[in-house]
Chain A
Amino acid sequence: EAGVAQSPRYKIIEKRQSVAFWCNPISGHATLYWYQQILGQGPKLLIQFQNNGVVDDSQLPKDRFSAERLKGVDSTLKIQPAKLEDSAVYLCASSPYHEQKLFFGSGTQLSVL
């Protein structure tokens, strides 16, 4: 079974630039999550989708972050403009509708200079 795919693996940008991350969840998984993991901290939920609808985006900094999940499958997370404090690993995860188990991708490591 293919896992959660994320790209790119690494990204280095300068502050005030924009960046986008892509996630392809496990086939058939209705729920998709984006987490932010700052070095030395646990992952923090940014946004949760159920199919192509948003369930929770209460911790998403909406002035600079946006996310969409087209046709309830792939998802993109965008940051515009980036700040130094956005340097982190961005994790995508998916889960089947009736299961309390998240499957994580390997993440995208973002460095903002």
Chain B
Amino acid sequence: GNSVTQMEGPVTLSEEAFLTINCTYTATGYPSLFWYVQYPGEGLQLLLKATKADDKGSNKGFEATYRKETTSFHLEKGSVQVSDSAVYFCALDTGRRALTFGSGTRLQVQP
């Protein structure tokens, strides 16, 4: 079956540090890949997505590249801010428009 594996958190960084959150997947076919974010007290919202191999999704300074050869979609940001503190979920969609999520990674950014 389809599955998503994320690095465990929490990840604690100082402001302006470089962020990487690892995500790997197992899926049949060629899934679309997503990062969703959940800020404290808010609902899940789409951060970025990539629909085919070598595509790069980007939004709000975050980036992730769809790597078919390593079945990965790692999330990166060059300089995190306190406001980026949230839980980040990697997810995939094999075409049924229903997402399979990873377990989430909590990011805490300290001033």
User: Which A residues fall within an 8 A CB radius of B?
Assistant: 3-4, 31, 33, 40-45, 48, 55-56, 91, 93, 95, 100-107
Assuming the contacts A41-B103, A42-B104, A56-B98, asked whether A106 and B42 have C-beta atoms less than 8 A apart, the reply is: yes
Given A100-B32, A100-B51, check contact A33 B98 (CB 8 Å).
Answer: yes
Q: How far is the CA of A103 from the CA of B97 in the complex (A)?
A: 12
- The answer to whether A95 touches B97, judged by C-beta atoms less than 8 angstroms apart, is yes
What range describes how many residues of B lie at the interface?
A: 20 to 34
Distance, CA A107 to CA B4, complexed state (A): 22
For the complex of A and B, the 3 pairs showing the least CB-CB separation, nearest first, are A42-B101, A104-B44, A104-B43
Known: A55-B96, A100-B32, A100-B51. A44 touches B43 (CB 8 A): no
How many Å from the CB of B64 to the closest CB on chain A?
15
- Is A43 a contact of B98 with CB atoms below 8 Å? no
- Given A91-B43, A104-B43, A104-B44, A40 contacting B103 (CB threshold 8 A): yes
B96 contacts across to A, CB distance below 8 A:
48, 55-56
CA A106 – CA B44 in complex, angstroms?
8
Most buried by A among B96, B97, B102, B104: B97
Chain A residue with the shortest CB-CB distance to B32: A100
| Chain B residue at minimal CB-CB distance from A45 | B98
B49 at the interface (CB under 8 A from A): yes
Q: Is the CB of B4 within 8 A of A42?
A: yes
Query: Measured between alpha carbons, how far is A41 from B102 in the docked complex, in Å?
Result: 8
